[in-house]
Structure 1
């Protein structure tokens, strides 16, 4: 399992924005993953998505990595932001854009 955690750690730390999700941005396989994709697309931030359904070790490993029981999980500049409910709340309050901007990540112009 340590190899999987190292792989996850590398993805989280080497990408500005990473979304561990069920499915892909084009074909989310759960409603919660789909909601986070829509939020990230709306905000206009580029992100890497990792489909946890393709690998059971990553699916369990990401839960262990963050000590968070659910998927999707969003990371910005190596920091665990949260799952669907937290991301949605941050977005609705205008905080998600602030977090992204404070980390120096470019967003598409509105």
Structure 2
């Protein structure tokens, strides 16, 4: 389970939805889903833990642990960070959600 928030955003270079630990740089993020693909229901691993999002487009948008247990409700936030092109080719990452 997460002991800190997990943030979500989009890379302007790949268009992929990415996730990273709250307080860390989005440049350390992992891919959640491909460009144009709904990130909800897509399981991903980050820092040794499995997660997935549920409730995309609803007021119940939340982060769940890989076993299906509730982790945290997500809230909208806006933040941009330039990751450059040498760190996973992410370019600019725009954070949209924090859970």
Q: TM-score w.r.t. structure 2 length?
A: 0.26
More helix by share: 1
Q: TM-score w.r.t. structure 1 length?
A: 0.24
Q: Kindly indicate whether structure 1 or structure 2 has the higher relative contact order, using CA contacts under 8 Å at least 6 residues apart.
A: 1
